Amino acid sequence: MKCISVFFLLTLLIINNMTVAASDGYNLWLNYKPVAAELQNEYNQQIKSLLITGDSPTLNIVKGELSSGLEKMLGKKLPSAKSSAEQNTIIAGKLENILFAMNPEIEKGIRQIGGEGFVIFSEPGKNTVITAQSDIGVLYGTYYFLQLVQTGKNISKLNVVSSPGIKIRVLNHWDNLDGSIERGYAGNSLWDWKSLPGKTDPRYTDYARANASIGINGTVLNNVNANPAMLTPGYLEKVAALANIFRPYGLKVYLSIKFSSPVNIGGMETADPLDPAVQQWWKKKVEEVYSYIPDFGGFLVKANSEGQPGPQNYNRSHADGANMLADALKPFGGIVMWRAFVYDNNVPDDRAKQAYNEFKPLDGTFRDNVLVQVKNGAIDFQPREPFHPLFGAMPKTPLMMEFQITQEYLGQSTDLCYLAPLFKECLDSDTYAKGPGSTVAKVIDGSLENHQITGIAGVANTGSDRNWTGHLFGQANWFTFGKLAWNTNLSSEEIADDWIKLTFSNDEKVVATIRKMMMDSREISVNYMTPLGLHHIMGYNHHFGPGPWVNRGRADWTSVYYHRADSTGIGFNRTPSGSDATSQYHQPVAGVFANPETCPEKYLLWFHHLPWDYTMKSGRTLWDEICLHYYSGVEGVKNMQKEWNSLEGKIDSELFGMVKTKLTKQEKLAEWWRNSCVLYFQQYSKKPLPDGLEKPAEKLEYYQKFDFIDLK
């Protein structure tokens, strides 16, 4: 008997280890893990059967998600109810099919939430209803309900009315046709163009499912530095195959285009947007696109930026180029997302000012199906930037936010850096465009100027790596983007809590520990990379690791252009006595930024060139404050390591090991950032390190010769 017991225990251990080995991050936040026993008992009393009303590819997904998800979480297979008369049934379907189950007040609420919104309501001892005006709305509601169960929420008295605050919520994939990804750190492209359309990877469905589960409704498949071949019939057939897979999940397909395509693939001599022949070429091309993909979303365009062709090649404006494309797309309901990321090394002005200077005069000249897509900051997805001055500066034009989910400047796939605080810092910033309360969020959701077309884009961090994002915590940033795109009012903490519970555990210690790590992580990264408003001082070209010494090539791609360190001080003077970039903001923001006494210290060196002995609010000198920030950043990574190590045995062992390995690399990277920057700037400040700080292990020359990309 004793031998049998030992054998049984060993068998359980083997089974458990097999289960652990399968937890490789592929399922993202859709694990559907068994809930705690006490919750399972509670939920089983409230959920005894399922009833899906209606039939469509999307409602079939609803049925599958509810059946599979609840079975895994509750430990039992739910039967199908024969009618809504059965109590404790989950009823899911379009509003028109379940009116009998709804009271007048709830019916009134759902008729006001639009095509993608949903309602979930329940009464103790009765049914729970998930309904919407569309099948896609029902699907969104289904994922929301399943997340309530997985995170241990009370579902006995639900009265949820939810609709997206922003209409167009898209991922921007900077994927190339050869399978590479520009600024991609999680393997190769998800799209296997060579195999499409004949062979479709099951991962395409899983990708669509993940996006639908967080409310993302669009995807731009290819790089903004576009290959014109994407618009040829061979590739349109491949795009159509993906669109067919994505459609039941509410995920529309968009394409980046090369503005010179009429020349590149059309055999024309010009791509002048005011040339009638060029306009006709685009109209025919758009008709062709829609013949392959009837619900095609539209075009994303990078033009006259970083060498890309555009309307300025023909002495035309951005509006001329965007409007030509908008006119071609308009009959089909398509849109143009025209990027405002433009700058020219030949323009003798601050790069941070150039997008504003080019686009502000064009306000009100764009067609009504054009959105101008603006990065969160005026330089380029830096670890910290003040909000872009274009937000609030173009009241007659819908502005679309562009965030970067992939961590191009934030440690790529090496660093644990939770981006919700970065996103929220921008969204919650007050532009004062129409007085106090004119936040960036209100600009992009259309409420400030009553725009009917609204959008938000996130540069994707997905790739062929098994865990999708390279770093397990990179998944949190994808999740965060979707959640904030749906509701910009959510806090960083509540998004983190949900992601932790969906990914790891509902255990209070686990949640509290990981939440603290996540909430601290972005500030830690800023401290050891670019504290106090420093920016663009990373490694040349690959943008990984420190490079404050970079001074080769075009000026606005160097580090010295931005930090301007010399014997007198450090920082970029953007006040009226410098480049006057502060004047692009509304008052009182402009005045606050222009005065070093009122400028938030987190942006201080973004707007001011200050002496090394400038007195900070702490009473310390600027030099001492810079050093202490760099050193505190390294200590912050060490603290994250301790916090993570305290969770060993409390979460999945494979996931634990993945993150532990990354944190070890991050500590080394943080030390190299600290040592490189402190030593480099010290040669200008001529000042010693503050008391108590250890000296870097090597001389500056060592770090200048080191290729930090090897650390990855």
Asked if 187 contacts 315 with a C-beta cutoff of 8 angstroms, the reply is no
CA dihedral for 327, 330, 332, 335, sign (positive or negative): positive
Q: Catalytic residue among 135, 175, 380, 425, which? A: 380
Give the closest residue to 289 by CA, choosing from 223, 225, 240, 338.
Answer: 240
Catalytic annotation present for 306: yes
Catalytic annotation present for 380: yes
- For 599, the enclosing helix (H) or strand (E) is none
SS3 282: helix
Sheet harboring 49-53: ordered strands across? 49-53, 89-94, 128-132, 118-122, 159-162
385 CB-near residues (< 8 Å, 6+ apart) = 376, 377, 378, 379, 535, 606
* Token pair 């060592």 in the structure block, residue: 702
Tokens for 632, please give them. 């505190």
Instruction: Calculate the alpha carbon distances from 465 to 218, 460, 479 in Å.
Output: 22, 14, 17
DSSP string, 351-381: HHHHHHHHHGGGTT-S-TTEEEEEESSSSSS
Give the closest residue to 124 by CA, choosing from 76, 87, 98, 152.
Answer: 87
Query: Per 3-state DSSP, what percentage of the chain is helix, strand, and coil (rounded to 5)?
Result: 45, 10, 45
Instruction: Calculate the alpha carbon distances from 196 to 213, 241, 473, 671 in Å.
Output: 25, 7, 30, 45
Q: Catalytic residue among 116, 350, 408, 671, which? A: 408
Asked if 571 contacts 611 with a C-beta cutoff of 8 angstroms, the reply is no
Instruction: Tell the burial category of 429 from Cβ atoms under 10 Å away from its Cβ (0-12, 13-18, 19+).
Output: buried
Measured distance CA(449)–CA(451) in Å, rounded: 6
- For 130, the enclosing helix (H) or strand (E) is strand 128-132
Measured distance CA(215)–CA(211) in Å, rounded: 6
Catalytic annotation present for 408: yes
Q: Catalytic residue among 96, 288, 295, 306, which? A: 306
Give the closest residue to 299 by CA, choosing from 170, 392, 429.
Answer: 170
| Angle in degrees, 0-180, between the axes of helices 276-292 and 233-246, rounded to the nearest 10 | 50
Instruction: Tell the burial category of 10 from Cβ atoms under 10 Å away from its Cβ (0-12, 13-18, 19+).
Output: exposed
Half-sphere exposure of 219 (CA within 13 A, CB side): 29
Task: Count the neighbouring beta carbons within 10 Å of the beta carbon of residue 303.
Answer: 23
Active site residues: 306, 380, 408
